[in-house]
Structure 1
Amino acid sequence: MTLSTQKRRLHDMVFEALATDIITGALALDTRLPIDSALGNRFEVSRTVIREAIQALASAGLVDVRHGAGTYVNGSASWDLLDTRLLEMLGNTGTIDFLINDLLDVRRMFEVEAAGLAAERATAADIAALEVVVERMRDPKTTGDEYLELNLEFHSLIVQASHNRILTGLRHQMRGVLSVMMNARQRQADEEMRIVSTAMHQMLLDSIREGRADRAQAVMLAHVQGAERSLQRTPES
């Protein structure tokens, strides 16, 4: 392991520990973080590692670095909710529920339009790539984790096939959004859900291959609404 790799792992460890404390409420709004040397002692790392972790927390909107006054915990209104690491941690810590409806809104707007554009603009290479993914999704030897990655890849390829440079530029952030939602849904998944999901992906592929934009949008909307039904919770639940 190189020195830079080791340093990066230490930085990630500190970031994840402090981020978890913030998003779970163990570090409350406006709490002042301990000084760098105290955090260094807690995590047994250098002050340089602590500073890099603090910078990453600030980049994700989790803390506010007030020069000369210290570093303070931000509320969720200040968080960068398209930061892929933050989204992943919200999912991993089970604190994503407050964001589910917003994520579903974004997914509906983003993916339905992307599907329509893909049907109008997909190249032969785009369609071939989608076909490979669907074939692997259909393979009974594909594991649950592999299926999840294929699902993410399929949706990423649809965005790519839209040939819209703005949508394509947002693909990384949207992959983070989809990853969190699909991981949450994966916990509820059974064989029947997987069969239905694969069938929906085949219908999307067929619509794109046939250049039927309206149908591609309708299928994608139905697909997203299926995720909504499985993820949304009533206020009493």
Structure 2
Amino acid sequence: MTQPIEQIVRRKLSDEVFDRLERMITSGDLKPDDEMPSERVLMERFGVGRPAIREAMQALAAKGLVNISHGERAKVLRLTAQSIFQQVDLTAKIMLSQSHDTLEHLKSARIFFERGMAREAAQRVSKNDIDDLKAIIQRQRSSIGDADSFIDADMEFHTRIAKISGNPIFVAFSEAMLAWLKEYHTDMLIWAGKEKFTLVEHEEIVSRIEQSDADGAENAILKHLERSRALYGK
């Protein structure tokens, strides 16, 4: 029986260089904040020209693995949950703008996520957490009439609840999700006095969390998000 032909795919030199540099980073040979080897060193090490090195470096930068500054050696970036989500920020916003269904799916995902965060907060909350949440509500109250400031405080409130979990990935996910929704969020303020409903609901959420009432906190945040859901991104 004839064996199937296994074609050899010729890869660009820059792709090979990228793979080797990526392995140096993921293996720990190059650590966060380390400078990358110079172009000349890499050219000699891999036996390739300057264009292949530069193209590979640009690909590493595009993936958020290194930072390239003019006139300076590229540096390995310290990856965080925030930096990972930031890599898909523009793509996510474009995707949402092109599909109403995707926006609706994100709203549903947010509600599912924040219900869990409210329950977690009620089980782990400290006095400092409550003080911070109440201070955010007060800043939000002072921002009535200033839509941008009001919404910024609103986003901070919800992310601060996620922070109570102690899990930085939850915090980063909350920040990313709210940033993606922000441009659809302004319409929440189109009705006169609408901001006051938000403040009352935020106070109820904090009250339930402060009482360590997981069911009550989940129900309060569900009511809050379901009410606001229909008011943006139509």
TM-score past 0.5 threshold:
yes
Aligned match of 1:139: 142
SS in structure 2 at match of 1:170:
helix
Give, in angstroms, the shift of residue 180 of structure 1: 2.6
Aligned match of 2:203: 202
Q: 1:81 to 1:129 in 2, by over 3 A?
A: closer
Give, in angstroms, the shift of residue 230 of structure 1: 2.3
Give, in angstroms, the shift of residue 116 of structure 1: 1.1
**TM-score normalised to structure 1 length:** 0.58
**TM-score normalised to structure 2 length:** 0.58
SS in structure 2 at match of 1:162:
coil
Q: For 1:137-166, what per-residue CA distance to the aligned partner results, in whole angstroms no more than 9, with x for missing partners? A: 111566211111111111111011133x2x
**Considering only aligned residues, what root-mean-square deviation do their CA atoms show, in Å?**
3.1
Q: 1:197 to 1:96 in 2, by over 3 A?
A: farther
Aligned match of 2:187: 187
Query: Gaps (5+ residues) in structure 1?
Result: 1-47, 60-79
Given that 1:134 and 1:198 are in contact with CA atoms closer than 8 Å, whether structure 2 keeps it comes out as yes
Aligned match of 1:122: 125
Q: 1:53 to 1:174 in 2, by over 3 A?
A: farther
Q: For 1:94-135, what per-residue CA distance to the aligned partner results, in whole angstroms no more than 9, with x for missing partners? A: 435241121022112110011011111111111111111001
Matched positions, count: 161
| Bigger Rg over Cα | 2
Given that 1:84 and 1:173 are in contact with CA atoms closer than 8 Å, whether structure 2 keeps it comes out as no
Q: Paired residue for 2:91, among 83, 86, 89?
A: 86
The CA distance in 1 between the partners of 2:154 and 2:146, in whole Å, is: 12
Tell me if 1:218 matches 2:225.
no
Amino acid at match of 1:85: L
Given that 1:82 and 1:173 are in contact with CA atoms closer than 8 Å, whether structure 2 keeps it comes out as no
Q: For 1:179-237, what per-residue CA distance to the aligned partner results, in whole angstroms no more than 9, with x for missing partners? A: 2324312135234221111111111111111211111000111112123322475xxxx
Given that 1:130 and 1:154 are in contact with CA atoms closer than 8 Å, whether structure 2 keeps it comes out as yes
Amino acid at match of 1:151: D
Amino acid at match of 2:212: G
Matched-pair identity in %: 18
Amino acid at match of 2:170: L
Given that 2:188 and 2:232 are in contact with CA atoms closer than 8 Å, whether structure 1 keeps it comes out as no
The CA distance in 2 between the partners of 1:214 and 1:142, in whole Å, is: 33
